[in-house]
Structure 1
Amino acid sequence: MAAGAGLTLGGWPLAALAVPFCGPPPLPGEAGWNTHPLLLAGLALGALLLLALARRFPDPRGTSATWPLLGWLVLALALASPICSLSVALFSLRVTQHLLVVLAAAPLLAMAVMRLRLVARSGIGLPAAFFAGLLWLWHAPGPYAATFEADGIAYWLMHGSLAFSATWFWAALLRHGPGRPLAAVVGALATAIQMGVLGALLTFAPRALYAVHAPDVTLPWGFTPLEDQQLGGLLMWVPGGLLFVGVLAAGLALAMRQAAPAGR
């Protein structure tokens, strides 16, 4: 049976709808890799750009490109692996895809761009606010639904803007955090709170908010649309919060060490 065959989405036959960039909603066992030529070309060009940045801003420890390239690999897996296909069926898998981009790939990619002028001049507050605004924007029902259109424009705007803003934010923490640990603590705390609030709203919403994840799409995976949304909210709420708690602890410890000599 072909993925999506016989399914309906919002009361319309799925076959009559445009197919999203990641393909139609798969049934269990049918999710596959995304090998779209434009995606593969973009990933290859991005890897070359990271290598160029490593040469432009060499690390004296000789590890300039190692961690950023690992981050790019995580990003590639988020966009090209079966997670891409599964995210069409399940909101919780779309959230997983986003968490891989903003909490796993972005901190590693930030090591390649933390010396750029944009990061040096922005401080921590501006990238934190920019990231928060985009995260809430793309999880509003209207913009979220637009990412499932066949032209893929909104899909790439979503992932490109989230990856850019999260990398900018993490780069700001890496660059300014050691010298301004309290600012890093405030930035991390604000980010943890806004992600937690968004996750909680999704978890405790009384109804499913995303029509693209209709019952015919989620039930083959054992979830009602509301259960799928609740799981996605919990994923955003808990892992994101735990990571930023670690950043907060590191920032507070650094601030206390820097303040200790002055208090003696």
Structure 2
Amino acid sequence: MRETVVLPFCGAPPLPGELWMRWTLDPVLIGLLALVPALYLTFVPKGEGRERAFFWLGWATLVVAFVSPLCALSAALFSARVAHHVLLVAVAAPLLALANPWRARMALPYPALWLLIHAFALWFWHAPIPYEAALRSDALYWLMQLSLLGSALLFWSSALSGRHAAMTAPVTLLAAMMQMGLLGALITFAPRPLYTAHALSTEPFGLTPLADQQLAGLIMWAPGALPYLVAALAFAASALRGAAAGSAPSR
């Protein structure tokens, strides 16, 4: 009996010369991506210019992640898959959280709880067995993507807009950065390739499977953790300015 070859959602691993022809034009995906801004523009007040700018940046990040050749490249390279996930959880998610003009009134309590949920999703889907399973099933693939994006969006919404965000956000965001960096370090320093789905697809790009895996870990360790650090420093600076203004003697 001939074994059925199951391709990941983004298709077969591309060769370098054909990469820029590999846009993901799935009609359902395109329709959903078109529906999201239509709904947002319908319900968000026209005067909320800054929030709309955040939304368009977040939406464009999703388009890059799912429609551009990055999607196809992630079928070949684990490092591209990690870059794809970093775009979801550390770029699109905070931008979309900031795009909510009602975030102060809809703030989620307990950011540490949402961080635990998000960290669990991140670590679970980057474990070899769940990761390999997600590439063999479109249902699991989308469960992976939606759980990563959804848990990140809930975490960022809670961290950025909580009642005591100015005081708690730096600690929570630094904790998120540390867990991202730890996962990246474990992937970087693994002594052997862990992801057999990419065992035969890295060579055309000049990488061994282990080098590809190490690059993936470094992407998660440094660029992936950077947005959390920047946000933590921004909140810390804001808190210090507020404390300085409150302690300034009145004239």
Partner of 2:154: 168
**In the alignment, what sits opposite 1:6?**
none
* CA 1:219–1:16: 2 relative to 1, 3 Å: farther
Go from structure 1 to structure 2 and tell me whether the alpha carbon gap of 1:110 and 1:30 turns closer, same or farther (over 3 Å shift). Answer: same
| Runs of 4 or more above 6 Å deviation | none
What is the distance in 1 between the residues matched to 2:104 and 2:167?
22
Q: Superposed, which structure 2 residues align to 1:28-177 within 5 Å?
A: 28-31=16-19, 32-55=22-45, 60-113=47-100, 115=102, 119-149=106-136, 151-176=137-162
Q: 1:20-60, CA deviations, whole angstroms, 9 ceiling, x for partnerless residues?
A: 111011111122001111111111122223223414xx6x5
Higher mean Cα deviation, 119-128 or 90-99? 119-128
CA distance in 2, matches of 1:114, 1:164: 18
Name the CA distance, whole Å, in 1 between partners of 2:226 and 2:104.
30
Q: CA deviation at 1:206?
A: 0.5
**SS of match in other structure, 1:212:** helix
1:114·1:175 contact (CA, 8 Å) conserved in 2?
A: no
1:54–1:112 Cα contact (<8 Å) kept: no
Query: Could you say what secondary structure the match of 1:240 adopts?
Result: coil
Q: Secondary structure at the match of 1:42?
A: helix
Q: Spell out, residue by residue over 1:168-208, the C-alpha distance to the aligned partner (whole angstroms, 9 max, x if none).
A: 2222233127x432210111011000000000000000011
**Residue in structure 1 matched with residue 13 of structure 2 by the alignment:** 25
Q: Residue in 1 aligned with 2:180?
A: 195
Letter in 2 for 1:38: V
Instruction: Give the superposition deviation at 1:130.
Output: 1.6
Counterpart-to-counterpart distance in 2, 1:96 and 1:25: 16
Question: Is the Cα–Cα contact under 8 Å of residues 78 and 216 in structure 2 kept in the other structure?
Answer: yes
TM-score by length of 2: 0.89
Deviation per residue, 1:48-78 (Å, 9 max, x gap): 23223414xx6x5534323212211110111
Q: CA RMSD in A?
A: 2.3
* 8 Å Cα contact 1:119-1:172 kept in structure 2: no
Alpha-carbon separation, structure 1, partners of 2:173 and 2:101 = 17
Q: How does 1:247-262 map to 2 (within 5 A)?
A: 247-260=231-244, 261-262=246-247
Match of 1:207 in 2: 192
Matched with 2:217 is 233
1:243 CA displacement: 2.2
Q: Which runs of 5+ in 1 are unaligned?
A: 1-12
Secondary structure, aligned partner of 1:217: coil
- Mapped partners of 1:138, 1:43: distance in 2: 23
Q: How many matched pairs?
A: 245
| d(CA) in 2 for partners of 1:222, 1:164 | 34
- Matched residues in 1 for 2:125 and 2:25: separation? 24
Helix, strand or coil: the match of 2:211?
helix
The alpha carbon displacement at 1:118 in A equals: 9.4
Distance 1:119 1:235 in 2: 33
SS of the aligned residue for 2:194 comes to coil
Separation in 2, partners of 1:203, 1:121 = 34
Is there any run of 5+ residues in structure 2 with no aligned partner, and where?
none
Q: Give secondary structure in 1 for the equivalent of 2:15.
A: coil
One-letter amino acid matched to 2:243: A
Query: Residues 19, 183 of structure 1: CA spacing in aligned structure 2 closer, same or farther, 3 A cutoff?
Result: same
Partner amino acid, structure 1, of 2:240: M
2:17 is paired with a residue whose SS is coil
Amino acid across the alignment from 2:42? A
